[in-house]
Structure 1
């Protein structure tokens, strides 16, 4: 049995360990004070950089601006880190603007034109003319910019839609308390926009009655818009309140915005790729070209996505397409046996066993990946030798 001194020492060591862990986690977020000329005051920022940001010196990242950063930054930053860890969205830079003492003045609009006025106009210029240029200059930001707000600040983020070339491409509106003409303005802009936009809107059954009523009416207008440039999504969460809906809406918004970024799912495989009458290989190439255009990020084609397409080709006995797929996989993942396996399957099925055996042998020398092991590749080689008596 431990004596009281030993117990005390163990508790002290445990406390120190927790403090170290807490510091390590805390250090992922940078706290900055930004001097704004437009506002003539300092503004506190919270900045979360992606994991391994410092080691990936050529990589660029989408930028997410979070208003109400004093309480909205942490749930947004946590979800972004989680989603990007599982590759359901690109790693992103998250910046929260602390507004606990200034939000009403920051987002003030006049009662005649319902446009930013006084400090509200200055705050609008601060974001567009000071903060974004600073962040673009200081950090490796991609073209895609997202802005997030809650109730009063959510109304404010929509003013950026009014610009001819909006500086934000995606808007996450969490129970916005809309100015009187804002609903019509949003509907008009999303109807006529010629630029790719993502627009997410959320309310809840226990939201404030006036907000919920206005947002349901707005959704009725937005849901019938037929603009291919606009990606619109709406949620009315059951049994959530004005505040608790935030925890449910943020992941839903990220799923909506980055729907095309996620790995190919079983549903996409069954409903899209398998019944394709055109080239599955070209579909895969076009998918990555489209996501590069949408999100401004060129990325390596996932092993998961190669396998999904190859499985469909094999199931449909589309042996010819395995050749370009294999060459692309070899280019994208040269250190693995993936591409050589596809090439081996192609040659084997079109009746060129020597080329097939050579492809499998080349793959055997490389790294294992997914279900492909050295034993598996060796078995493929031996099976061909056995079949042809070599």
Structure 2
């Protein structure tokens, strides 16, 4: 049977750019000998950014989890608190019990549970890789039974996911007994999130809290572990609170420099402000395998630190980096102008301000501001 994806309909026409696009598709599976319904949300401007690849967020229980996950991914990526990502949901309303079936003696996937487990890695992911521009950073999301299922991928030698968002996972004994040891020895970076609630089902809450306590004891720099026990949250209401929290935790390094980061990290850095900025984006590249331009907002935050501490010599390297990252913007020339101005080179500063005037405005830097700087320096120089 030939593996194919049939397009049923598109919620938003592909010609509309700047909006998330949701497609409904059907995958005919050889492994399952049946068809499976998928929901796929494309990142904003996916059609126009033809060379860009995106992280994948795979959502089990797509019938009810896809929309809250996709909505939060779109929202957080819009504000650059996470990278744009492709979100794929698998509808399981009629099949989840069979999809998550395991042997009652060894607790390993069995029958359709085993087939579904293999379907994800052997059919679905290769097909998504073939048809969409997916990067190597991949997250999976599940709720109770499906959350337990996705943990079996961590029992494999080479897990196919990097991030695991467990929403009140219904852990089997084999996961309880083996997961802490596996994560403690992992040589690959793993992001692992657990959520439960004070009003969650008693057995699930107890199981999740035990897992949280076990994983908190792990000392492995490759493991990024996060957890929440939401007050007065039930088995179902915790989902709405956990999804955005998990995204914030997993992508905490990715987001722009916050006011808290500025006060507690940037101003207190032991190195230069320039190195703090460069190191931040090197970490983003290494952690998430994403190569992104340094944000204009982060350049301006570092500029604020330089001005506050009066370490104007740092503007030289920062200006050159800004010119490389954003050659069309005036920020690089402005930083070099400030460097020359404060280090007693007014003629050179004047030239840089004039160059900045010819480029695009950015943040609070405007052409009117550059004219004021130019006129002020000309007056000082008697020109």
Q: Could you say which residue in structure 2 is the equivalent of 1:112?
A: 105
Question: How many angstroms does 1:23 deviate by?
Answer: 6.2
Residues 302/245 of structure 1: CA separation in 2 closer, same or farther (3 Å cut)? same
- Give SS of 1:176's match: coil
- Does residue 360 of structure 2 align to residue 367 of structure 1? yes
Question: How many angstroms does 1:277 deviate by?
Answer: 2.1
Residues 380/27 of structure 1: CA separation in 2 closer, same or farther (3 Å cut)? closer
- Does residue 271 of structure 2 align to residue 278 of structure 1? yes
TM-score (norm 2): 0.94
- Give SS of 1:233's match: strand
Question: How many angstroms does 1:27 deviate by?
Answer: 8.9
State whether residues 20 and 43 of structure 2, in contact with CA within 8 Å, keep that contact through their aligned partners in structure 1.
no
- Cα-to-partner distance string for 1:11-56 (whole Å, 9 max, x where unaligned): xxxxxxxxxxx86699921111111111111111111101111111
Distance of 1:249 and 1:346 partners within structure 2: 46
How many residue pairs get matched? 369
Q: Could you say which residue in structure 1 is the equivalent of 2:351?
A: 358
- Return structure 1 stretches of 4+ with deviation > 6 angstroms: 22-27
Which of residues 133, 138, 142 is equivalent to 1:145?
138
State whether residues 20 and 74 of structure 2, in contact with CA within 8 Å, keep that contact through their aligned partners in structure 1.
no
Question: How many angstroms does 1:369 deviate by?
Answer: 1.0
- Does residue 103 of structure 2 align to residue 123 of structure 1? no
Q: Could you say which residue in structure 2 is the equivalent of 1:226?
A: 219
Q: Could you say which residue in structure 2 is the equivalent of 1:315?
A: 308
TM-score (norm 1): 0.92
Distance of 1:148 and 1:331 partners within structure 2: 38
Distance of 2:364 and 2:40 partners within structure 1: 39
- Cα-to-partner distance string for 1:220-240 (whole Å, 9 max, x where unaligned): 111121111111000001111
Q: Could you say which residue in structure 2 is the equivalent of 1:345?
A: 338
CA-based RMSD of the aligned residues comes to: 1.4
Which has the greater radius of gyration?
A: 1
- Give SS of 2:55's match: strand
Residues 27/317 of structure 1: CA separation in 2 closer, same or farther (3 Å cut)? closer
Which of residues 154, 157, 160 is equivalent to 2:153?
160
Question: How many angstroms does 1:61 deviate by?
Answer: 0.4
Residues 27/252 of structure 1: CA separation in 2 closer, same or farther (3 Å cut)? closer
Question: How many angstroms does 1:181 deviate by?
Answer: 3.1
Residues 60/27 of structure 1: CA separation in 2 closer, same or farther (3 Å cut)? closer
Distance of 1:365 and 1:27 partners within structure 2: 35
- Give SS of 1:159's match: helix
- Give SS of 2:365's match: coil
Distance of 1:78 and 1:174 partners within structure 2: 17
